[in-house]
Amino acid sequence: MYLVSLDNDDPETIWTTEIWDTKEDHGQSLNVIGVNELIAQAMPLFSAPPEKCKELKILGGFGINP
């Protein structure tokens, strides 16, 4: 799942957060054919390299329907 958010302090900044069930699932996704090529195509669109991963313990939440 991906969360796309606007930065309240900088209207030019968009945050994209990836959510995975496990760290292993994320690692395995990088082995899917074509994924690394897609990442390489996206990198020039970023103003800075992606930040290092941070693991969080999800406590709960709810979905928002547009």
pLDDT digits (tens, 9 = 90+) for 21-61: 888 998 999 999 999 999 999 889 888 888 777 777 878 87
| 18-24: long-range contacts, CB 8 A cutoff, minimum separation 24 | 19/58, 23/53, 23/55
Whether 54 maps to a domain, the answer reads no
Please indicate, yes or no, if residue 64 is contained in any of the structural domains: no
Mean pLDDT to the nearest integer, 10-24: 86
Q: Is residue 18 part of a domain?
A: yes
Q: How far apart are CA 63 and CA 1, in angstroms?
A: 12
Name the domain count of the chain. 1
Residue 41 sits in which domain range? 2-45
* 35: in domain: yes
For residue 40, is it within any domain?
A: yes
